[in-house]
Structure 1
Amino acid sequence: MQNLTRITRNPEVMGGKPCIRGIRVTVGTIVGLMASGHTTSQILAAYPYLEEADIYEALAYAAWRVEEIEVPLENPSIAISS
């Protein structure tokens, strides 16, 4: 794993969830915004204290965590019949 220096975890900040640089913006918030179609520019406008590198590092952290932890899906496969 690469050195992700912008991602921090502190039990006293956001309940210990991974945050960006110790501020109250979680990795999950950034990933959720990106997944719902927000652009990097839109996120930076909404959170002016973030930097573009913060967003990319949040995505890198999330990708690393997904590879490390098996996340069960509710419907892992849906059969399609004709």
Structure 2
Amino acid sequence: MNPRLQISPAVCHGKPVIRGTRVLVSTILGAMSGGDSLETILEDYPSITAEDVAAALEFASRLSDYQISEYEAVA
């Protein structure tokens, strides 16, 4: 995982956050999917950087890159 991110049971109930903040990765992703620009997100969350946003996007990309395995039908 990217060192800019943190997953710890002691921080936000173990949800992924930007390290050193309580800004949830899901909050950043939700803002971006809602149409907020990078500039708007950085204004709304001054404790994070563009690199932090990129790390959140990379995390989401890797998380969604799962492999589908075919299975055999049982008769």
TM-score of the alignment, normalized to the shorter chain, above 0.5: yes
> TM-score, structure 1 length as denominator?
0.76
> TM-score, structure 2 length as denominator?
0.83
Equivalent residue for 1:32, pick from 30, 33, 41: 30
Equivalent runs, 1:7-26 vs 2, <5 Å: 7-26=5-24
Equivalent runs, 1:2-81 vs 2, <5 Å: 4-68=2-66
RMSD: 1.6
Q: Give the counterpart letter for 1:68 in structure 2.
A: Y
Q: Note if contact 1:9-1:22 (Cα within 8 Å) is conserved in structure 2.
A: no
- The superposition leaves residues 45-64 of structure 1 with CA deviations (integer Å, 9 ceiling, x where unpaired) of 00111111000110000110
- The superposition leaves residues 19-39 of structure 1 with CA deviations (integer Å, 9 ceiling, x where unpaired) of 101411111011000000000
Report how far residue 69 of structure 1 moved. Answer: 7.6
Give the structure 2 partner of residue 78 of structure 1: none
Identity %: 37
Q: Which runs of 4+ in 1 moved over 6 A?
A: none
Gaps in structure 2 of 5+ consecutive residues: 69-75
Tell me, in whole angstroms, the C-alpha distance in 1 between the residues paired with 2:67 and 2:30.
Answer: 18
Gaps in structure 1 of 5+ consecutive residues: 71-82
